[in-house]
Structure 1
């Protein structure tokens, strides 16, 4: 396939935007590792998109494959130097929150931060991630790339945080809000068997109404001259502490 005007190409490009993904019920996964992770973890791959001259991995030989030219791949891909493979993947309906450790994201807008937090939650052994209102779309290409496949490893739920917090508390969770207001250093806090951690917007932090719903505000001491930590770094420190 060499034409940018091909109907399939036009449909793939529409998946670059949230509206197009919602309408089609699909998203684009790009790169050998990410596409293979989707396949290995049982996500429904609708179609493999392969650049001419790129070898098809053994695991994708039984899937529908469409070969396209390098110029079309550069048009469809959202990376500067595409690896030559992408896939259309069916969006999963929101899964249920699972397990005893959950991280909730309140209004995070940087896709790199969101993807990194999902990846770190996976690495730290957290059980679920909840994306609250105002948080960047899970299937944004930069989010997907930043997760490095962790998106496909654990439940990532898009939900109302107020309802979720109330539900978690009813189930016996202790809810921590990462905030500097009336907060206790995490080193002084005992962890509980069921813990939910909230982190907030890169500039504004967690909404006040959400902080008030939490059981405990927690902070990370700043020992040097930096004003603050990047939210994904702070989330990582706290998740590893909770799951130590």
Structure 2
């Protein structure tokens, strides 16, 4: 008897980027390593993000920038789902990095989120005792949706017990804000050049899932932060499939690239 595939849950993830501080500049992206105790992709390096919460679709969320109707067109989905995805992207980024893409007006952004009061609000979001809409309203903030750029859409292969339909976004680290190692789902964080992340994955030093690997490869082709965030990319669903190759389970992407299930050496060409 064939089991029906699990329906994927909507999720969002954000690649925070900044200009590199070392010789030659270039782009750096913020990554975190998922704690070994996590049920999904333990030990894998990823970007801040997570699944959509039902309250992310709250119409009371303060909003600035492209409206939900415009995001629905960009993301290829309905208006309520688009609203929830954008909110989830910003909320999860704050929960997992301490960076908040919001401000007191449509042309301003929060300068710093590192004091005890901000940390209390972050923890309240994590334990669901505070909604994102209430956080913004209480602090007189609006969501700066104009700071996000749509990048890609990946769907977990059918057959996996946990499946996600994830929209990837890019965003520049706001001036004045700093990422923080806030713990929780991650046990290590780092700013890293995308090309270096790919090199270390090929060397077996970093475990990453195929969407993360492919995204780092694409980011590595961008010569600057400005190039990586110049505009929205065309979004279409990418759904890899699981196949047995040479006696091992591999993930095959529609463009023909072959990856191990998690980390290790590259299993094919891209």
Q: State the TM-score, normalizing by the size of structure 1.
A: 0.28
Relative to its length, the structure with more helix (as a share) is: 1
Relative contact order (alpha carbons < 8 A, sep ≥ 6): 1 or 2 greater? 2
Name which one, 1 or 2, has greater alpha-carbon Rg: 1
Q: State the TM-score, normalizing by the size of structure 2.
A: 0.26
Relative to its length, the structure with more strand (as a share) is: 2
